[in-house]
Structures are given as C-alpha cells and as structure tokens.
C-alpha cells in the first residue's frame, strides 16, 4: 500500500504539475475599490482531466520558494490569465435626491489549474470540467 502511494506521488511530480484552485473577488463603492481578495489554494483532491494551456508566467522560481509562494507572488498575472473565465457581476444603484450610491461586486468563480515549471517561467493550464 505504501509503495503504491509513493509511486503515485513520484509519478505526479515527474509527469504532471501541481494542481491549485484560484478565485477572486473585488468590491467597489462609487468607483473606489473597497475590498479585494485573491485566493490561491492547493487542491486537496487531484482531478483526472487534462488541462488546456491558457498562459505563461515569464519569471523563474527562486531557489527555496514553494510553488504556492511563487503563485502568490504572481497573483495579479494569474488574475489576468483567468479573467476571461466565468465571472459573476452584481451591481446595486441607489439614488436619493442629488446623490447616488453605486456598489459593484465582481467575483471570479473558482478555477482549477495546473502549474508546470519550465526553465524560464511557468505554464498555467486550466482543468476543463
């Protein structure tokens, strides 16, 4: 049993990248960003589907840097990679007299992706479900 588990871990590390989940939420009020949250977490359960390449990050990983730290360092680039995925938009407008209160919330639905490191950066592939 332990041998099979070790073989599974080794084959995943050799032939595939690590799998993560990305989501983001931005809220604004009267055109000013009030809240911003970008979340990246390691997937607990690996999916069997293959990924389709969506972007490259042109920056190499530091020597003792974990993959999660690398992704958090480049979270703005990841956001740009996933911005054309499914997005939820909520807009509220309240008018009272001569004043207006506009609130907008943009949520990027959680996306599973694989990161594979190359000599000059990383390739990001979205897992199609």
93 belongs to a structural domain: yes
CB 70 within 8 A of CB 42: no
* pLDDT for residue 1: 63
Q: What's the rounded Cα separation, in Å, for the pair 108 and 79?
A: 9
Rounded Cα–Cα distance for residues 68 and 109 (Å): 19
Is residue 33 a part of any domain in this protein? yes
77 is a domain residue: yes
Output the pLDDT for position 66. Answer: 93
**Quick count: other Cβ atoms within 10 Å of Cβ 115?**
22
**Per-residue pLDDT, 120:** 87
pLDDT at 16: 58
What is the domain count for the chain? 1
The answer to whether residue 4 sits within a structural domain is: no
Domain membership of residue 2 (yes or no) is no
Whether 13 maps to a domain, the answer reads: no
Q: Considering the domain boundaries, does residue 3 fall inside one?
A: no
Q: Which residues of 77-100 are buried (b: 16+ CB within 10 A; e: fewer)?
A: bbeebbeeeeeeeeeeeeeeeeee
Whether 12 is in a domain gets the answer: no
Write out the chain's pLDDT in tens, 129 residues. Answer: 666 545 444 544 444 579 999 999 999 999 899 999 999 999 998 888 888 999 999 998 898 999 999 999 999 999 999 988 899 999 999 999 999 999 999 999 999 999 999 988 999 999 987
* Residue 37 confidence (pLDDT): 94
Domain that holds residue 91: 18-127
């Amino acid at each position: 049993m332990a041998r099979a588990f070790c073989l599974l871990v080794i084959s995943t590390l050799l032939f595939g990248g690590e799998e993560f989940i990305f989501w983001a939420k931005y809220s604004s009020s009267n055109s000013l960003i009030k809240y911003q949250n970008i979340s990246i977490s390691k997937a607990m359960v690996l999916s069997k589907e293959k990924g389709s390449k969506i972007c490259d990050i042109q920056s190499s990983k530091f020597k003792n840097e974990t993959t999660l730290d690398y992704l958090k360092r480049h979270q703005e680039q990841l956001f740009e990679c996933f911005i054309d995925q499914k997005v939820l938009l909520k807009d509220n407008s309240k008018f009272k007299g001569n004043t207006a209160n506009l609130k907008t919330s943009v949520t990027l639905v959680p996306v599973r992706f694989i990161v594979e490191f190359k000599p000059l950066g990383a390739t990001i592939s979205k897992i199609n479900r």
